């Protein structure tokens, strides 16, 4: 574009929502008659994490938060983790350990 354009539709992979930061470099596709229809298709991707394998997925956010889905089934979460809803571990509801509460071991 010939300068800043606001309120363009943003397209991305299914199940993924992204809002570019102000001043970010993004890919804009111009289409339609005369090229007046525009949309943001994505941004320059961050550096590939060391050791990342084909088929793996790495979602990164601000301040170092990320989700890394690895080929071996590992899910690596980095950052402050906040869980809303029910937490299941091996299909069972999570129950925090009460060991040591009230002076009882």
Give the pLDDT band (50/70/90) at residue 38.
confident
Q: Report pLDDT for 44.
A: 76
Examine the pLDDT at 1 and tell me if it is beyond 60. Answer: no
Assess contact for 35 and 28: CB atoms under 8 A: no
Give the residue, 13 or 29, on which the prediction is more confident. 29
Q: Report pLDDT for 27.
A: 85
Q: Rounded to whole angstroms, how far apart are CA atoms 57 and 13?
A: 12
| Residue 57 three-state SS | strand
Assess contact for 60 and 66: CB atoms under 8 A: yes
Mean pLDDT over 33-44 rounds to 78
Helix (H) or strand (E) holding 84: none
Averaged pLDDT of the chain: 83
């Amino acid at each position: 574009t010939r300068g800043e354009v606001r309120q363009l539709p943003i397209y991305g992979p299914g199940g993924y929502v992204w809002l570019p930061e102000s001043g970010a470099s993004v890919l804009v596709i111009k289409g339609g008659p005369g090229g007046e229809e525009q949309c943001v298709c994505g941004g320059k991707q961050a550096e590939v994490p060391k050791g990342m394998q084909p088929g793996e997925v790495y979602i990164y956010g601000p301040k170092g938060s990320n989700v890394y889905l690895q080929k071996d089934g590992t899910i690596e979460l980095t950052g402050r983790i906040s869980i809303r809803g029910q937490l299941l571990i091996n299909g069972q509801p999570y129950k925090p350990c009460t060991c040591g509460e009230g002076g009882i071991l």
